[in-house]
Structures are given as structure tokens and as C-alpha cells.
Structure 1
Amino acid sequence: MQTGRLILRRWLDSDREPFAQMNSDAVVMEHFPALLSREESDALVDCAETHHIQHGFGPWAAELNETGEFIGYVGLFTPRFEAAFTPCVEIGWRLAGEYWGRGLATEGARAVVDHAFHHLALAELVSFTVPANLRSRRVMEKLGMAYDPHDDFDHPSIPEGHPMRRHVLYRLKREDWEP
């Protein structure tokens, strides 16, 4: 997929090092339970590629059109945990900190939403994060995703008592999508 400033594509081995750097950056990972080791980061890349093979979609590596530089990912996932809203397809993103505040996550996510609804014929997408992750919540709102506090949930993969266990959930139905 291509947007005005981004190419969203499958992962390359050359993406692994900058992705690992992102995943070990305390600012980028502020709203995640822990920083990731190189091995954990590489496992996420492998998981993304496996997801593409199994489902025909997944997290796409994001690169800048102008420079070809890897800046993170934007894509679709099927969560592996059980919750009131699963099974579902989640849209998510993670960009290197130096690319925040430029609208790149929103630009990439718009292309992914359009792909999800018009090419994959999905009926609904969800997105979730910790309540304090205002940057990601703002992207969700720019996409037209709806938030209902009744959908807030405790993430089952995060231990009880952990400050990041509580999550907010946003939803977007195909009939509500306005590109």
C-alpha cells in the first residue's frame, strides 16, 4: 500500500535493527509493560510475517516514500487473547519517536482501514490501549473510531495489579467509515 508519504509493505531483514531500537526506546514504549530485547523484537517481526501468511494481512512495515527509511509499522492483527470483544481484528501502529506529531500514523492507519473494509471486506475494526496513551487515542478518534467506557477492559495478558492492565477499546464499523 502507498500513501502520499508512506509505503506499507511486508517486512525485510533490514527492518529488524531499527525495529529493535524502537522497541528498546523508553519513550516509544512508554505505554507498554516493558521494553523489548532484540530477541523479543525479532520474534514480533516473525509473528507479523506469520500473521500475513496465515490471514492475508498483518502489521505492515512502514517506510518513508522519500527516503525508503523504515519508521515503524501500521497494520492489522487478530488478538490471541479472549475478551468480551474477541474474536476481532485490531488496527495498531508503532512509529519511531522522531516521526511522531507529523500525522504519519493517521495517514498509514487510514490506508489500512480502507484496505480492511474495501479489500478484505471486514465488518469492524477495534483498537485498544491504556487510558493514558493520548497520542494513540487521538489517532483512533481521527479515524472516526467510537469509544464507549462500557467497553473498557482488563487486558488478560497483563498481570493483575499492573498499572497498565486497564485498557480502553475503540470500534469502527465499515458502514461508519468515511475515508
Structure 2
Amino acid sequence: MSSYLSSTIKQFEYYKSLGDKTFKQLTFDELQWQSHEDANSISIIVKHIVGNMLSRWTNFLTEDGEKEWRHRDEEFNATFNTYEDLITTWETGWKCLFDAITPLTKDDLERIIYIRNQGHTVTEAINRQLAHYSYHIGQIVFLGKLLKGSDWESLSIPKGNSTAYNDDKFSKAKGKRHFTDDL
């Protein structure tokens, strides 16, 4: 189970890096873009993810993950004034998450915590949030690709490069490593 914790942390770091790399390719105006009035911009998705992170991971072993101070509906209103505000908020959410899960031990994984009074093991809560964040970060990346078009810099294996990528991987000896180790 200790490999579960280290792997999970690496997965969260990977998804954070996808967001980071997307933001670096976009202007503040692009981060605010909405396809229509009811659609979420990247900045709104960021605000929602961070609101969720702060609620779920603050004192998560001792308090319900849906905090009374969270106002989820307000997360879907565009309020960032600058690119720097968005990035600072993004970093605050991730810091809260990493500060909560980094000190965990395998003994913590079966502890019961609550989200909206629904009991979860810590493992289940981690998996729930990993899936939730990767879902929304996929939306961020998709919107980034849509906005940049042919100027988009691929965050994974670019089209047409699969053979070269695989050749490189298979040229190395077999060994246990995380897929993010050489990104």
C-alpha cells in the first residue's frame, strides 16, 4: 500500500502538470473564454477544482469534506482579475491537497472519512478526487487545444510520433518505474 500512496501522489502531480502546461500556452483572455453563456471557461473550471480541493482536503481526516464555508455554486462565476490570481489560486488548491496526502501512511488508508455524511475509506476518497480532478483537467486541456488550434504544443505523444516514442521506450531495459518519471 505504500506504493499506492507514492503512485497516487505522482498521478496528482501529473494531472497538475497538464494544467500548468496548458496555462503556459494561453493568455488570460483565452483562460476566460466561454463557448456560450452557460459554458465553463478554463478559469471557472480552475475555481471549481480549487474550491473542491480546499473543501475536501482541509482537515479531511477529522471534518466532513463538504465544508460549511464552501459555496459551490459561486465557483461557477468568473471572478479572476488576472492571470497571476488564477495561478496563485491553482497553486493554493494543490498545496492543500499535497499537504494532506503526503504525510499519510498505509495505516491511514482504511480510516473512514466523510463527504456529505457519506463514509469513504481514505483510499476511496483519494480515488474519488483523483478521478474528479483528472476529468476537469481533461476539460482544461481540451479547451486549451481548441483555443490554440495548430499552435497547440502537445502535452503527450504528438500525432505521428508513436513509433519513435515506443522505440525509445523499448530500447530501455525492463524495470519498475512510474510512467511520469521521464516526463
Q: If the TM-score is normalised by the length of the shorter chain, which range does it land in?
A: under 0.3
TM-score of the superposed pair, with normalisation by structure 2: 0.24
User: Whose strand proportion is higher, 1 or 2?
Assistant: 1
Higher relative contact order (CA 8 A, sep 6+): 2
TM-score of the superposed pair, with normalisation by structure 1: 0.25
Q: Larger C-alpha radius of gyration, 1 or 2?
A: 2
